[in-house]
Chain A
Amino acid sequence: NAGVTQTPKFRVLKTGQSMTLLCAQDMNHEYMYWYRQDPGMGLRLIHYSVGEGTTAKGEVPDGYNVSRLKKQNFLLGLESAAPSQTSVYFCASSYRRTSGGAYEQFFGPGTRLTVL
Chain B
Amino acid sequence: KNQVEQSPQSLIILEGKNCTLQCNYTVSPFSNLRWYKQDTGRGPVSLTIMTFSENTKSNGRYTATLDADTKQSSLHITASQLSDSASYICVVSPEASGGSYIPTFGRGTSLIVHP
* Residues on A facing B (Cβ under 8 Å): 4, 40-45, 48, 50, 58, 90, 92, 96-100, 102, 104-105, 107-110
The A interface is mostly helix, strand or loop, or mixed, namely: loop
Structural contact, A102 and B89, CB atoms closer than 8 A = no
Interface positions, chain B 23-50, Cβ under 8 Å from A, are 31-32, 34, 41-46, 49
Q: How many A-B residue pairs have CB under 8 A?
A: 54
* Neighbour of B32 across the interface among A40, A90, A102, A109, CB < 8 A: A102
Structural contact, B93 and A110, CB atoms closer than 8 A = no
Closest B residue to A9 using CB positions: B41
Knowing A107-B45, A109-B43, the reply to whether A100 touches B99 (Cβ < 8 A) is no
Distance in Å from the Cβ of A41 to the closest Cβ of chain B? 7
Per-residue CB contact flags for chain B residues 73-115 toward chain A (1 = under 8 Å, else 0) read 0000000000000000101010111011111011110000000
User: In the assembled complex, which residues on chain B have CB atoms less than 8 Å from the CB atom of A90?
Assistant: 43-44
